[in-house]
Amino acid sequence: MKNETFIKEIYEPYNEAYALLKMIKDCGHDNYDDLWAEFATKTEEFVKKHDTDIGHSIARMITDVADSIADINGEES
């Protein structure tokens, strides 16, 4: 795999996914509902931007993590 292909198809999406995962960490405080809504919107934007197999795989991972945290918190994401 060429370096520029790796950066575009794997590295950049994972960096964006990391930012989304950091958002989840902050959910559960005073602004809980607002953060989950923003997280859902940004995840949808991520899927549209990275409409590839790996992009969809990363989005599923993010959603699975969010669902697990919502379960721990007793809420739905």
Query: Could you give the C-alpha distances from 70 to 3, 24, 34, 60, 65, in angstroms and in order?
Result: 37, 9, 14, 15, 9
Span 42-46, average pLDDT = 85
> Other C-beta atoms within 10 Å of 17: how many?
19
Quote the mean pLDDT of the chain: 78
Separation CA 33–CA 36 (nearest Å): 5
38 — pLDDT class (breaks 50, 70, 90): confident
Mean pLDDT of all residues in 49-71: 84
User: What pLDDT shows up at residue 77?
Assistant: 47
Residue type, 59: A
Q: Report how far apart, in Å, the C-alpha atoms of 34 and of each of 13, 16, 17, 22 are.
A: 24, 19, 19, 15
* pTM of this structure: 0.64
